[in-house]
Amino acid sequence: MTELEKCMAGEWYDCHAPEFIEGRARALEWCARYNATPYSQRSERRKMLEELFGAVGTNVSVGDNFTCGFGTNIYIGSNVSINLNCTFIDCNRITIGNDVLIAPCVHLTTATHPVELADRLITNWNPESGEYR
Q: What are phi and psi of 100, to 5 degrees?
A: -120, 135
- The reply to whether 113 belongs to the active site is yes
Q: How far is Cα 92 from Cα 109, in angstroms, rounded to an integer?
A: 9
Choice among 18, 40, 113, 118 that is catalytic: 113
3-state secondary structure of 31: helix
Q: Which of 99, 104, 65 is nearest to 80 (CA)?
A: 99
Q: How far is Cα 133 from Cα 78, in angstroms, rounded to an integer?
A: 47
Catalytic residue positions, numbered: 113
